[in-house]
């Protein structure tokens, strides 16, 4: 058995995919049943997102999600997944300084089975990312629209629309890569900015509501199944019309790989 088969996809395989132009297909999951469907369908990254605050717990933001919630749902997902990389969100205020970030990321890896952790970041988090990376914790930096900042933002608007804020997000991306981030996730930024980031950094860039020019795409599972409680984001697409959940996931993967999603 190869190491890749034993441990599933790792950082180096994701980089290799992006270098050969193979799109990386990612979805969220929060439990073992859906994690198995996604893993067997060939999803490359399963994100245990703090979006569970909305789609599992029914809140209107991710702010109330706790470390215990994240560990519980990560353990459910990681217990069953064999191939996909398990990416887990660090919840609101769980990485506000280096010591706290290291402690909580360790819990997500040891108790939750995370293989990479994600934090919502600007260049201000570079030191935290650098320390985590130096300790052997794979890190994904989530840029652009950062849902944990909802009460500062006042709404889920597209980010980087003027040249100054676009330049700031690009600089954030550069700083976070330099600090040691292994992956970037860009949410709800202009398509031109996403393309610029993708051309500038050498680590893979995953997009959500950020256009086609990313190394991969991610959506919330409930959004592609059309079962989101409340409002579904405008950039999401319902794949359940394709004939069942497995077929819906496979249709999504096929469109990400071929570049047909997003259109
Ligand atoms: O929590 C989540 O599901 C996310 C995605 C929206 C990317 O961060």
Can you give the residue range of the structural domain that contains 210?
A: 3-258
27, β-bridge pairs: 46, 219
> In this structure, is residue 14 part of a structural domain?
yes
Whether 187 is catalytic is yes
User: Does position 135 have pLDDT exceeding 70, yes or no?
Assistant: yes
Band of residue 2 on the pLDDT scale cut at 50, 70, 90:
low
User: Does position 223 have pLDDT exceeding 50, yes or no?
Assistant: yes
Question: How far does the centroid of ligand 1 lie from the alpha carbon of residue 179, in Å?
Answer: 22
Question: How far does the centroid of ligand 1 lie from the alpha carbon of residue 248, in Å?
Answer: 19
Mean pLDDT taken over the chain: 94
User: Does position 160 have pLDDT exceeding 60, yes or no?
Assistant: yes
**Whose Cα sits closest to atom 4 in ligand 1?**
49
What pLDDT shows up at residue 4? 55
Q: Rounded mean pLDDT of 228-244?
A: 81
What pLDDT shows up at residue 242? 60
Q: Which atom of ligand 1 is nearest to the CA of 220?
A: 3
User: Does position 209 have pLDDT exceeding 80, yes or no?
Assistant: yes
What pLDDT shows up at residue 6? 66
Q: Which atom of ligand 1 is nearest to the CA of 185?
A: 7
Determine if ligand 1 sits within 6 Å of the CB of residue 76. Answer: no
**Which DSSP helix (H) or strand (E) runs through 206?**
strand 205-208
Contacts of 124 (CB under 8 A, 6+ apart): none
> In this structure, is residue 237 part of a structural domain?
yes
Question: How far does the centroid of ligand 1 lie from the alpha carbon of residue 217, in Å?
Answer: 11
> In this structure, is residue 61 part of a structural domain?
yes
> In this structure, is residue 117 part of a structural domain?
yes
The CATH number covering residue 23 comes to 3.20.20.60
Band of residue 70 on the pLDDT scale cut at 50, 70, 90:
very high
> In this structure, is residue 85 part of a structural domain?
yes
What pLDDT shows up at residue 84? 98
Percent of the chain predicted with pLDDT > 70: 97
**47/45 Cα distance (integer angstroms):** 6
What pLDDT shows up at residue 1? 44
Determine if ligand 1 sits within 6 Å of the CB of residue 44. Answer: no
Write the burial class of residue 35 (CB in 10 Å: 0-12 exposed, 13-18 middle, 19+ buried): buried
> In this structure, is residue 263 part of a structural domain?
no
Q: Which atom of ligand 1 is nearest to the CA of 51?
A: 1
Tens digits of residue pLDDT in 245-259? 878 888 999 999 999
120, 123, 177, 187: the active-site residue: 187
> In this structure, is residue 112 part of a structural domain?
yes
Spatial contact of 71 and 111, defined as CB atoms under 8 Å apart: yes
Q: Rounded mean pLDDT of 35-41?
A: 95
Total number of domains in the chain: 1
Q: Rounded mean pLDDT of 171-189?
A: 98
Q: Which atom of ligand 1 is nearest to the CA of 118?
A: 8
Determine if ligand 1 sits within 6 Å of the CB of residue 219. Answer: no
Q: Which is nearest to 117 in space by CA: 56, 48, 18?
A: 48
Question: How far does the centroid of ligand 1 lie from the alpha carbon of residue 100, in Å?
Answer: 22
Overall pTM > 0.85: yes
Q: Rounded mean pLDDT of 59-73?
A: 97
């Amino acid at each position: 058995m190869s190491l890749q088969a034993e441990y599933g996809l790792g950082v180096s395989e994701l980089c290799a995919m992006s270098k050969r132009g193979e799109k990386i297909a990612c979805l969220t999951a929060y439990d073992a049943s859906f994690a198995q469907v996604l893993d067997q369908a060939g999803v490359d990254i399963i994100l245990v997102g703090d979006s569970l605050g909305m789609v599992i717990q029914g809140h209107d933001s991710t702010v109330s999600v706790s470390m215990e919630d994240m560990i519980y749902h990560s353990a459910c997902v990681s217990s069953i997944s064999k191939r996909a990389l398990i990416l887990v969100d660090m919840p609101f205020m769980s990485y506000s300084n280096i010591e706290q970030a290291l402690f909580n990321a360790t819990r997500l890896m040891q108790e939750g089975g995370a293989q990479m952790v994600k934090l919502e970041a600007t260049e201000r988090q570079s030191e935290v990312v650098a320390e985590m990376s130096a300790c052997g914790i794979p890190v994904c930096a989530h840029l652009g629209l950062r849902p944990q900042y909802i009460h500062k933002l006042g709404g889920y608007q597209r980010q980087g629309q003027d040249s100054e804020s676009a330049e700031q997000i690009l600089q954030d991306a550069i700083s976070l890569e330099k600090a040691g981030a292994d992956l970037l996730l860009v949410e709800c930024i202009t398509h031109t900015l996403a393309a610029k980031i993708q051309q500038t950094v050498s680590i893979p860039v995953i997009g959500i509501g950020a256009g086609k020019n990313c190394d991969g795409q991610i959506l919330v599972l409930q959004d592609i199944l059309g079962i989101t409680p409340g409002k579904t984001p405008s950039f999401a697409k319902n794949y359940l019309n394709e004939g069942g959940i497995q077929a819906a996931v496979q249709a999504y993967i096929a469109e990400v790989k071929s570049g047909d999603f997003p259109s």
